Amino acid sequence: MTQPLRPDLTDGVVRLRAPKPSDAAARFKLGNTPEIHQMFGVDPKHVPGITKDHAQKWYEAQAVEPLAWVIEYKKRMIGALRIHSVNTWDARASFAIGILDPKALGKGIGTRATHLIAAHAFGALALHRLSVRVLDFNARAVACCRKVGFVEEGIERQSSFCAGDWHDSILMGLIKPEYSPAVYPARKPRKAAKPRAKALA
């Protein structure tokens, strides 16, 4: 049986799955946070408010990408990631991720999601290399990539004009021989609830 191109991927905490129509409503609910969109190179003073039409188009853009996944945390859609620019001859591709829920930042979710996609890229997709570009002021994204094993390979100088100034892009890469899959401590099983004593008649 042929394996799906983008199967569900999970580490027990974060889940990557194919987009579904209800993601449009979830995307609308998340809104557009200026500080988050600035990390994508958008001037935070010019981030428009989200509309239902924009949310629907966001979902459709994820749905048509063959290697795009929605990121779920605690059964809620919080962002998306994708593998793109695949070169099958050289077994390499680029990677992009966006956490859109400000409440989900700083919890290691991006690192977990990146580990999941790296393991899938070097396993089922038989890639040898993943590349990512990060704006120089996006310290959180740089730290996330470093934790997974990406190394800084170069600088694309003044590649993005954002908030009235030019910024560099940091070029980072990860190759299969240097990737170490994530190892997480075993989760403690929940204690069984003690049976309640029956009241005497």
Reported pTM:
0.87
Can you give the pLDDT at residue 183? 82
Distance CA 177, CA 170 (A): 22
Task: Give Dmax (Cα) for the chain.
Answer: 80
Condensed to tens digits (0 to 9), the pLDDT of residues 176-194 reads 999 999 887 766 666 665 6
Can you give the pLDDT at residue 57? 96
From the number of C-beta atoms within 10 Å of its C-beta (0-12, 13-18, 19+), residue 118 rates as buried
CB 77 within 8 A of CB 71: yes
The domains found in the chain, sorted by start residue, are: 9-130 (3.40.630.30)
Range 134-159 average pLDDT? 95
Q: Name the one residue in this structure whose structure tokens are 């409503």.
A: 25
Q: At what angle do helices 109-122 and 139-148 cross, to 10 degrees?
A: 40
Can you give the pLDDT at residue 192? 60
CB 129 within 8 A of CB 174: yes
**Which band of pLDDT confidence, cut at 50, 70 and 90, is reported for residue 134?**
very high
From the number of C-beta atoms within 10 Å of its C-beta (0-12, 13-18, 19+), residue 65 rates as middle
Q: Hey, how many other C-beta atoms are within 10 angstroms of the C-beta on 98? A: 16
